[in-house]
Structure 1
C-alpha cells in the first residue's frame, strides 16, 4: 500500500477517498501548524505528503526523503515552497484541479468556484455585525458578570442600518460581501483600480470612490479586500487610521501583511478607531512558519479574532481538500496502471 501523510486534520470525505487507495496518517493536532522538523520526520515514513496551504516544503524537507512520490497541494507557492529544491529532486507537484471561473461572477455555482469567496464574505459580514452590535463584548460581559441591567448603556453599538461600509478592493469576496451589506440596508462604497460599469454598480448597489483616502474618512466600517501583491505590502498605515472616525472599525480578511500591524495596534490602543475584526495577521507565512495571534490583539475586548478561517465551511473546505486528495489518488492510479502493464507484458 502507498502511504500518504496529511499535514493536518481535514474533512472526513477526503480522508475516506484516500484510504481506498493508500494508508493514511494524519497530523494529530488541530490548534497549530506542523513545524519544519515535524514535516521532515513525516516524509521519511510516507510516499506522498498532502500539504495544506501554509505547510513548508523546504530544502531540508526535500532532502529528508528525496524519493517521495509527490507533494499534493492546492497550488505551489514560491514564498513557502522551495521550488528549486523540489525540481532538483525530481519530485512532482500534484496540484489540485480547480474549475475555471465563469466570466460573470454571478454565474459561479455552488459546486466549485464560488464556495470559498462566499464563505469568506459571510465571515467578513459576521465580523462587521459583531462590531456593530458589540457581540463579542456582550458575550464576555455576560460570562464575566453573570448579571445585567436590562437595556444597559454599557454595550451600545452603531448597528448596521443606514451606516456606511467601505470595500477597499472589489474582487471575488467583495462582490459577495456587497450583496450581503445591501441586504442589511447599508450604504456600500468601493474602490479598485478599474471602476465597474454603471450597470454593475447598480446591480451590486455600490458607489465608486476614486480616492481610497475617502473610504477611510467616510466609512463606519472599513473592509480591506485587496490582493496580496508585493506593491501592496503595508499599504494601510498609521495615516489611514488617522483619517478614520473615532467611532469607526477596521476589518481585514485579505492578508495580514497588507497592513502596518504596529500602526493598527497603536490606533486601537490610543482610541484613534473604535475597534477591529481580523481573520489574518502579519505573523503568518511567509514571514513566520508557525502562525500566531499577537498578544496585543488578544487583550483588546473591542477586537474580534478568527484564525484565517474564511473558508471554514464543510462545503467549501471539503471541496478544497477533496481536490488535493483527487490529485494524489490520480497519481497512485497512474502508477498502479503502469505497474499492471509491466506485469502483463
Structure 2
C-alpha cells in the first residue's frame, strides 16, 4: 500500500526484497536520487554521504532511530534528514512487557519442553519463575516508549522508576506514577527489572557498562528493545553466566546480527530478532510518515519530522 502510494506520487525505484543494500548499491542510489529512504540496516556514514550526487537533498529514514545516519555530515552537505517518530511506541512497549514476562516466568523454557514433547505433567517446583507484581521497574530513557512501558507496568502492579537526561514535567510524571532518579547508579542498585529505552548516541554507548551492571542485584533482570550498543554485551554475558544477574531479554545486539554465541547458550536469556516494532500496522504507519515527509519536502516545505543534531 505504501509503495503503491509512493509510486503514484513520485518517480520511485523500489527494492524487490528485504535484504540490506550493499555498499555499492547505496552509492549508486545516492548518486542520482533526490531522496533516499533507508532503513536501520543501511549505514549512511560520512564516507557514503561524501559520494552523494548534487541532487540528493533529503534522507527520509524509514524508522525512528537515526544512529545509522551521520546527521552532522548530511547537514553540512545541505541534505535534510527526517525520521518516523511515534509510530512504533505502543508496539515496542508491548514487546518490553513480553520480554519481562518471558524472562521472569521462563516462558521459552516451557515452550521448548512442550515442542520437544518432553512434558511429564505438573510438578510443584517445575519452571518456578518470579512474580512481577510489586517489583521495581527501572526505565532507562523516559521518552514516548519509556512512558508507554510505564503505563503497562503499572497495570501489572509494578513500581515504576526512571532515569532520564531530563526529568519529566510533574504532570507527566504523575500520570505514569513514576519516581525519578537523578543518579543512574543509585537507581540500578535498587531495581528488580531494568528496561533500556534510550537511543544510541555517543553519550549512551555502553551506558550499562561492567561497573554499572555490577551495581544491579543478582536477582535482577535487564531488558533491551532500544539499541544494543547501550549495553556492554561481553560484560552482560559474563555476569549472566556467573549468576550475578538473574536474566536478560534482548531484542537488539551490540554488533547487529553478529550475536554473541554465548548468549544463545544461556537458559536465563530470551533472544528476539529485532522484532519489537514488527507489526503490520506499525510498518504501514512508518511508511505513511515517510510519504508525508517526502511530499512536504517536494512541495518546498520543511519535513514535519526533520532531525537536527541538537535533537540527538
Q: Which residue of structure 1 aligns with residue 60 of structure 2? A: 73
- The answer on whether the counterparts of 1:274 and 1:302 sit within 8 Å (CA) in structure 2 is yes
1:43 deviates by: 5.8
- The answer on whether the counterparts of 2:194 and 2:221 sit within 8 Å (CA) in structure 1 is yes
Q: Which residue of structure 2 aligns with residue 293 of structure 1? A: 259
The two structures have a TM-score, normalised by structure 2, of 0.78
Q: Which residue of structure 1 aligns with residue 87 of structure 2? A: 115
In the TM superposition, 1:54-93 aligns within 5 A as 54-57=41-44, 66=53, 71-74=58-61, 80-81=69-70, 84=73, 93=80
Deviations along 1:222-268, one digit per CA (max 9) or x if unpaired, are 11233433233212122222232322211122322222121111111
Residue number among 252, 255, 278 corresponding to 1:312 in the alignment: 278
The two structures have a TM-score, normalised by structure 1, of 0.72
1:36 deviates by: 0.9
Give the match's secondary structure for 1:166: strand
Distance 2:234 2:26 in 1: 31
Q: Which residue of structure 1 aligns with residue 180 of structure 2? A: 208
* Structure 2: unaligned runs, 5 residues or longer: 301-312
1:28 deviates by: 4.0
1:58 deviates by: 5.3
Larger Cα-atom Rg: 1
Q: Which residue of structure 2 aligns with residue 252 of structure 1? A: 224
* Larger helix percent: 1
Count of residues in Structure 1 that have an aligned counterpart in Structure 2: 298
- The answer on whether the counterparts of 1:252 and 1:278 sit within 8 Å (CA) in structure 2 is yes
Distance 1:200 1:50 in 2: 34
* Structure 1: unaligned runs, 5 residues or longer: 1-12, 99-112, 285-290, 335-345
Query: Structure 1 residues 64, 224: closer, same or farther in 2, change over 3 A?
Result: closer
Query: Structure 1 residues 203, 64: closer, same or farther in 2, change over 3 A?
Result: closer
Q: Which residue of structure 1 aligns with residue 39 of structure 2? A: 52
Give the match's secondary structure for 2:226: coil
Query: Structure 1 residues 87, 251: closer, same or farther in 2, change over 3 A?
Result: same
Query: Structure 1 residues 139, 198: closer, same or farther in 2, change over 3 A?
Result: same
